[in-house]
Amino acid sequence: MDLGIAGKTALVCGASKGLGYGCAEALVREGVNVVIVARGAEALEAAAAKLAAAAAGSPAPFVKHVAADITTEAGRAAVFALGHDFDIVVTNAGGPPPGDFRNWDREAWIKAVDANMLTPIELIKATVDGMAKRGFGRIVNITSSSVKSPIDILGLSNGARSGLTGFVAGVARTSIAAQGVTINNLLPGSFDTDRLKGTMAGTAQKTGQDFDTVWEARKKNIPARRFGTPAEFGAICAFLCSMQAGYMTGQNVLADGGAYPGTY
């Protein structure tokens, strides 16, 4: 399927590896120009080189990278020094650490809200009006399945990402919806990433089990009996950014191998 977005320009955050990289790769394969951002310069440069090799189309899309912390004002300024006219924005920030809520102080909560709620809102503010004026825009926020099915040791993530979800539910249904701009949230379940490994390590520590036991038990609780891959996650993201997805907005798209047991 031709997604109709070749030649568009996308900003993809947290794109040096994992789910962010999967989204960037899927977009460049559709002929989308991408600007990728992450904190680690070395990993980001390697990711940019791989993306440039994967780029499809004639002429091939460009791949630019900015090593910055997107959760800071300085980091966002470095990204927007390249321009504000992004047609597609994929927000993504590393999730807060797992743990027991009794051990989290105010600073931990503020850091979580700043990274996983306020940063995406700032990126939306900086780009959405330009998208509306041009008559096309796609914003995809990578959140978490914990928004729909909370995970006890991820309380910081549960809270901060739920705040973003509530904000998007309102702003996606304003006048921008009639101007060709969609805002959706993409909720990953268990994907084979460093984030999942970190969460599993936290569970192992909390329960006193070894890592491999926790890892295998988690897979058995997923109807698909496996963890997802960044590439298939990226393909879902690319579809949400497509011309064909123009009638989908304000939605929370869950990708979890069937793990969520609810009907709705």
The reported pLDDT for the residue numbered 202 is 80
DSSP of 62-108? PEEEEES-TTSHHHHHHHHTT-S--SEEEE--PPPPP--GGG--HHH
pLDDT digits (tens, 9 = 90+) for 234-264: 999 999 999 999 999 999 999 999 999 998 8
User: Which regions in the chain score pLDDT beneath 70?
Assistant: none
The contacts of residue 33 (CB under 8 Å, 6+ apart) are 7, 8, 9, 10, 61, 62, 63, 64
Q: Which two tokens stand for residue 32?
A: 């989308």
pLDDT of 207: 87
Q: What crossing angle do the helices spanning 106-113 and 155-171 adopt, rounded to 10°?
A: 40
What integer pLDDT is reported at residue 239 of this predicted model? 98
> Residue for token digits 């989308």?
32
**Chain position carrying tokens 């899309």:** 61
**Residue showing tokens 């992004």:** 86
CB distance 259 to 45 below 8 Å: no
pLDDT for 3 equals 98
pLDDT at site 59 = 87
Contact 185, 252 (CB under 8 A): yes
pTM above threshold 0.85: yes
pLDDT, one tens digit per residue, over 132-165 is 999 999 999 999 998 998 888 888 989 999 999 9
